[in-house]
């Protein structure tokens, strides 16, 4: 079982990409998640394997054809699926949406666009949600799909090496992470400046450590990302 992703793409070789390595790679081997990447070109209706055409109304670039995308989609069969088109027009991916997707009881189908876009009619006909990974434009949806998948996979049960890590995150839910330190306790950088680890962290007082980390998280969030704070704080 586990979380299953279908990928509709013109570049199926881009998957699993980086997800074959590290935590997600081990989780793939353990079948905690799986994927099936389909080459959209295999669903072209003509012998030239045409997947795109010029936009009605004129303008630059090419548009992926609705009939070709639909044929690829229908080849997946009847299994229930959440259909997502990766696009800078979509709602911006955030941790609550990642949590929701990681807990999905259905397959997740990710449509990766190229060129100028996809014929709107196939998005409408099959009720694709649109998701963006941020306010910038990539040359295709594949890296966005990999990012969405990575964010979901690390939340699956049994994926993280250190089970504490998820708990740490909920402790500071919605805030930026506090700074981390490891040995040596005193380190001289290449400019000759001696830098000590904050004393509280070597004090052995777990209550104080927790308090300090929380305060650091709050201060960082206030400084860098006040938009993340609830309106009251």
Instruction: Provide the binding-site residues for ligand ADE, judged by CB under 6 A.
Output: 86-88, 132-134, 136-138, 141, 144
CB of 140 to ligand ADE, least distance (A): 6
Q: Which is nearer to ligand ADE, 102 or 148 (CB)?
A: 148
Q: Which of 33, 49, 54, 12 is nearest to 140 (CA)?
A: 12
Q: Which is nearer to ligand ADE, 24 or 87 (CB)?
A: 87
Q: What is each CA distance from 121 to 33, 58, 127, in whole angstroms?
A: 31, 17, 10
Q: Which is nearer to ligand ADE, 95 or 165 (CB)?
A: 95
Q: Which is nearer to ligand ADE, 7 or 86 (CB)?
A: 86
Q: What is each CA distance from 10 to 49, 55, 96, 193, in whole angstroms?
A: 11, 19, 29, 52
Q: Which is nearer to ligand ADE, 123 or 144 (CB)?
A: 144
Roughly how many angstroms between the first and final C-alpha of the chain, as a whole number? 42
CB of 111 to ligand ADE, least distance (A): 10
Cα–Cα distance measured from residue 78 to residue 90, given in angstroms and rounded to the nearest whole number: 26
CB of 14 to ligand ADE, least distance (A): 13
CB of 10 to ligand ADE, least distance (A): 13
CB of 179 to ligand ADE, least distance (A): 29
Q: Which is nearer to ligand ADE, 72 or 138 (CB)?
A: 138
CB of 88 to ligand ADE, least distance (A): 4
């Amino acid at each position: 079982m586990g979380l299953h992703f279908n990928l509709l793409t013109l570049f199926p070789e881009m998957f699993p990409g980086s997800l074959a390595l590290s935590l997600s790679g081990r989780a793939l081997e353990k079948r905690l998640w799986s994927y099936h990447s389909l080459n959209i070109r295999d669903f072209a209706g003509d012998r030239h394997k045409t997947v795109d055409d010029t936009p009605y109304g004129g303008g630059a670039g090419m548009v992926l054809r609705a009939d070709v995308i639909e044929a690829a989609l229908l080849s997946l069969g009847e299994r229930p699926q959440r259909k997502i088109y990766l696009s800078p027009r979509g709602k911006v991916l955030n941790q609550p949406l990642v949590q929701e997707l990681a807990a999905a009881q259905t397959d997740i189908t990710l449509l990766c666009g190229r060129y100028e876009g996809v014929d709107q009619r196939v998005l409408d006909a099959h009720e694709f949600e649109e998701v963006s990974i941020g306010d910038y434009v990539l040359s295709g949806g594949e890296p966005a799909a990999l990012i969405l998948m990575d964010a979901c996979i690390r939340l699956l049960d049994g994926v993280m090496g250190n089970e504490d890590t998820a708990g740490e995150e909920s402790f500071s839910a919605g805030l930026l992470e506090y700074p981390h330190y490891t040995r040596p306790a005193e380190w001289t950088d290449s400019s000759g400046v001696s830098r000590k680890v904050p004393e509280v962290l070597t004090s052995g007082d777990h209550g104080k450590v927790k308090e300090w980390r929380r305060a650091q998280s709050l201060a960082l969030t206030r400084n860098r990302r006040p938009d993340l704070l609830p309106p009251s704080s």
